[in-house]
Structure formats: structure tokens, C-alpha cells
Amino acid sequence: MSRITISKLQAMKSAGEKISAITAYDASFSRLFDEAGMHVMLIGDSLGMVLQGTSDTLPVSIEDVEYHTKCVRNGASKALIIGDMPFMTYATPEQAYGNAAKLMQAGANMVKVEGGEWLLDTISGLVERSVPVCGHLGLTPQAVNVFGGFKVQGRDSEQAKQILEQALKLEEAGIQLLVLECIPADLAKKISEALTIPVIGIGAGKHTDGQILVMHDAIGISFSKIPKFSRNFLAETGNISDAIALYIDEVTQGRFPSEEHSFK
């Protein structure tokens, strides 16, 4: 596999080729994922829950993500690397610029932010300053206290309309990738078709341009219950390398996620 760039992901969407993505936090796993042909790795603020043992992502710092981004970059030479911007590290455009610079200098190719219309100026400012941006809509874990828990979003028509409108505005502001989390599959399909940029789903059905899972869920080592939208590929294969190869194949062939991993 040649080095994955934003342009390559865009070409994959245009060609109808599925994008495989996974969270990663260290050099050993990132090298395994890279050698298996994973297209995208996200250093997610999920590290708070799966590495640090917190109940949500809110305590994660920019220094945490910066450190793990360096580790992941040391193991990966081909995959596109995305660094998550943790809670309240991009509350203002100026704050976002400084913190995004830390992640890019640590080895990220792109940063990810959660939220809709309030981020438009920040996104356009980052892009103007040569920082590619990935958006994130639907269930945005940093807003867990606003949502009252980790709940599926966009099930009623008004909320679904708002998510679609926000996606279009984010694209106009300059995002080059969008993550949709825990929304109905038909809404994710509509958004993926409406946007020209690639859309990556997690709990968003099979009609997005690609899929991402938390690595601990994909190989069944989370100490919490595996979410409905995930699948334990290690249980099906018996070793981690084969599990990751199966995950990539199931995504690229359009077999994962199935209806049982999706929301209506």
C-alpha cells in the first residue's frame, strides 16, 4: 500500500472504495495496523476510557494526545494519522491553533474536532493555517453531559435535519473528512451522498464511505461492554493480526457493519 493522503481518501470516495480506520495509541499496534493496510488511524481521546480507565473522554489533555500521536507516528509510515483535539482545547480559534500545532508537530496529518456551527470560524482558520480538519457529528462524546449519556442522535426528523445541515456547513468551512457516530443508517447514507468529502461511520450503518472502530472493541479487550455497533474480530480469528486483516476486509468488501451493528 502506498502512503495514504487526504487526496487518496478523496479518490477512494469517488471510486466507491471503502476506507478502513481504527483508533491507535502506540507504536506496536500502529505498525501492525499499518502493515495490514489500514488506511486511517485516529489517536482518539477515547484513550481516556480504554488506556486511563476514566468513565468518559473529558479528562484527556492535549499533552496525552500529543504523546500518543508521537508513538503512533513512530510505528506507522503509510496510514493517514488523525489527532483528536480533547475537550475544551479548541474553545476559541486561537486556542485551537496552538493545540493543533502540537498535534501536527507530533506527527498527525489532520486534527479532529467535535461539533457543528459554532466551529465554522475555527475550522476555516485552521485550514487557512495549513491544518487539515476532520469534523465529528452525531454522538459527540465530549458533549456526554449535554446529551445525558451516550445516546443515539438524529432519530427524530428535526434533529436529523440539523445534523445534515451542520455537515454541509462544516464541509463549506473546509473540513476534508467527517466522522458520524451513532446515528441512524439512513441519515448517514443521506449525509454521505450529500457531501463531496469522505464520511467515516461508527455506529452509522454501512452506507458511509468508510468505518472506524475503537481498537479495544475490535479485538474484544475493552473492560466495558462492547457497543452494539462494534464486533469482536479477535474472537472469530484467534490472533490479532488475522483479526485486523478480517476487519479491513469486511469493511472494504462492504460486509461490515451489518444491520445488527446499525441503528434505525
The answer on whether 249 is annotated among ligand-binding residues is no
Give domain 6-261's CATH number out of 3.20.20.60, 1.20.120.640, 3.20.20.70, 3.40.50.720: 3.20.20.60
Q: What letter does residue 18 receive in the DSSP assignment? A: P
Q: Which of 63, 66, 165, 181 is catalytic?
A: 181
Is residue 144 left, alpha or beta, with left meaning phi > 0 and alpha meaning psi from -120 to 50? Answer: alpha
pLDDT above 80: residue 144:
no
78-110 confidence digits (pLDDT tens): 999 999 999 999 999 999 999 999 999 999 999
List pLDDT tens digits, range 214-252: 999 999 998 777 889 999 999 999 999 999 999 999 999
181 tagged catalytic: yes
Which cell numbers in the block locate residue 111?
Answer: 486534527
Q: What is the mean pLDDT of the chain?
A: 96
56 annotated as belonging to a binding site for a ligand: no
CB-side neighbour CA atoms (13 Å) of 127: 18
**Mean pLDDT across the stretch 28-35?**
98
186 is in an annotated binding site: no
Name the pTM for this structure: 0.96
Q: How many CB atoms lie within 10 A of CB 190?
A: 16
For the chain, domain boundaries: 6-261
